[in-house]
Amino acid sequence: MKLIYVFTRGVRKGRLKMQNSGAVVTPWEVKGEVDYDELIRQFGVEPLDRLMIERLGRHAGGLHVLLRRGMFFSHREFGDWMKSYEEGVRVALYTGRGPSGNTHLGHLIPWIFTKYLQDAFKADLFFQMTDDEKFLFNPELSIEDINKFTEENLLDIIAVGFDPKRTKIFADLSYTKKLYNIAVRVAKHVTFSTARATFGFSESSNIGMVFFPAMQAAPCFLPQYIDGKDTHVLIPCAIDQEPYWRISRDVAPKLGYRKPAGIYSKFIPGLGAGGKMSASMPETAIFLSDTECEAIKKVKNAFTGGQPTIREQKEKGGNPDVCVIYSYLYSLFEESDAEVAETYKSCKSGGKTCGECKESLAKKVAAFLKEHHRRREKAKDCVQDFLLRE
Ligand code: TYM
């Protein structure tokens, strides 16, 4: 599969732009309307097909809404990973967070799914917090800022409900010894030319940025590095992180490890018209630190597929296919298939107004945040149970 990379030197520090029908998808930037079928071809990953989904459902005892509704849409060797599990090879999960700000709902998508996988496969989860990445890539953030976000984000991660006995969270700047030992081994096999072609580094990239991909690759091999036991790692994340796994997979056999498998989600959109949910647009992102009132207000101001007036809505109907409110209900917040189908139909026929859908989503988001805030408070008492130590 040919990967199409287009360099746009000088634009955002010369970072690589993956052109996707006008959209841009890189580990640091996602912009525009992403064509996911095109992305599957460009990244050389596989679509998550019905058989694979059913096989996962059999292990998990049911299908998560994020699977049923296609939020998780692609993978790399996920079937092989399940085969390892079925044959008794130790399996592990690896995901992460770059603590550059408050956590938003988009970040939670892969984590909620990771918890579902952890419960299904009783797998250890290695959770990396790339404080070094966020320091190196954001000129405006100091180490002190990043440390603050690391502490804050850690509570959101724990609040997802991971099993404390099977979850090991670590931040690069403090859990350094083992990670660095693996990272230098990875780095030795990655040329600058590969790193530049994969990530778009340029003359003005600082040298820490160029080394960093080896740090994000390192946890792919950490479970086996720790105790020497053969382990097959699966990485659940959104598709923007995929370039890291290309490097990790290339290097794995050279270091005597299994190639990590991956399972990838789409991006939950922001509440405005177009684009993924992003912390750089706070008015269109639902942060986990938002109060219920703040979140309700954001939902009420969201972009919809509705007509300008209620009369026109009743006459012509709305367009759920472009509606952010509908997409939230569809991809995460409305569990019932019958209910989501009914919302689609009645929006199209003009039977339902945008106000009604907003009201319904606002209630669900507020309830979700209330529960998250409760769990986050509880998380403060058990941080130590989750931290991986040297
Ligand atoms: P970060 O902190 O940008 O994002 C954390 C996770 O959230 C996903 N994500 C989204 N998913 C759905 N909808 C969105 N709108 C959305 N925005 C972000 C990201 O894909 C990611 O899975 N470098 C990484 C940290 C990291 C990591 C990892 C991530 C280190 N090791 C292993 C995944 C797997 C980062 O800055 O992610």
Q: Residue 20: is its pLDDT beyond 80? A: no
Please give the CATH architecture assigned to the domain spanning 45-271. Answer: 3-Layer(aba) Sandwich (3.40)
Fold of the domain built from segment(s) 290-374: Tyrosyl-Transfer RNA Synthetase (1.10.240)
**What average pLDDT does this structure show over 327-334?**
95
For ligand 1, the distance from its centroid to the CA atom of residue 356, given in whole angstroms, is 32
Indicate the average pLDDT of the chain: 93
How much is the pLDDT for 14? 33
What's the pLDDT at 30?
Answer: 86
**Residue 109 pLDDT > 90:** yes
Give the number of the atom of ligand 1 that is nearest the alpha carbon of residue 107: 7
Say how many C-beta atoms besides its own lie within 10 A of residue 321's C-beta: 11
Domains 45-271 and 290-374 share a fold: no
Could you give the CA distance from residue 262 to residue 359 in angstroms, rounded to a whole number?
A: 36
Residue 275's pLDDT band (boundaries 50, 70, 90)?
Answer: confident
Confidence bin at 246 (pLDDT 50/70/90)? very high
Which residues, judged by CB distance below 6 Å to any ligand atom, belong to the binding site of ligand 1?
27, 94-98, 106-107, 109-110, 128, 130, 133, 216, 235, 237-238, 240-241, 265, 267-268, 276-277
Say if CB 26 and CB 243 are below 8 A apart: yes
| Position 278 confidence tier, pLDDT thresholds 50, 70, 90 | confident
pTM, two decimals, is: 0.94
Domain boundaries, the chain: 45-271, 290-374
HEC string of the chain?
CCCCCEECCCHHHHCEECEECCEEEECCEEECCCCHHHHHHHHCCEECCHHHHHHHHHHHCCCCHHHHCCCEEEEECHHHHHHHHHCCCEEEEEEEECCCCCCEHHHHHHHHHHHHHHHHHCCEEEEEECHHHHHHHCCCCCHHHHHHHHHHHHHHHHHCCCCCCCEEEEECCCCCHHHHHHHHHHHCCCCHHHHHHHHCCCCCCCHHHHHHHHHHHHHHCHHHHHHCCCEEEEEEEEHHHHHHHHHHHHHHHHHCCCCCEEEEECCCECCCCCCECCCCCHHHCCECCCCHHHHHHHHHCCCCCCCCCHHHHHHHCCCHHHCHHHHHHHHHHCCCHHHHHHHHHHHHCCCCCHHHHHHHHHHHHHHHHHHHHHHHHHHCCCHHHHECCC
Residue pLDDT, tens place only, 27-82: 988 888 899 999 999 999 999 999 999 999 999 999 999 999 999 999 999 999 99
* pLDDT tens figures, 165-220: 999 999 999 999 999 999 999 999 999 999 999 999 999 999 999 999 999 999 99
Please report the pLDDT score of residue 18 as a whole number.
Answer: 55
Q: What is the pLDDT of residue 279?
A: 86
Q: What is the pLDDT of residue 19?
A: 59
Q: Which of 1-5, 89-93, 202-206, 319-323 has the lowest mean pLDDT?
A: 1-5
Q: What are the residues whose beta carbons fall under 8 Å from the beta carbon of 122, sequence distance 6 or more?
A: 166
User: What would the pLDDT profile of 335-385 be if each residue is shown by its tens digit?
Assistant: 999 999 999 999 999 999 999 999 999 999 999 999 999 999 999 999 999
For ligand 1, mutation pick of 30, 39, 97 (most atoms within 8 Å of CB): 97
User: Residue 122's CB: how many other CB atoms inside 10 A?
Assistant: 11
Identify the pLDDT of residue 7: 27
Among 353, 278, 291, which Cα is nearest to 101's?
Answer: 278
pLDDT(22) > 90: no
What pLDDT is recorded for position 8? 27
For ligand 1, atom 25, name the residue with the nearest CA.
97
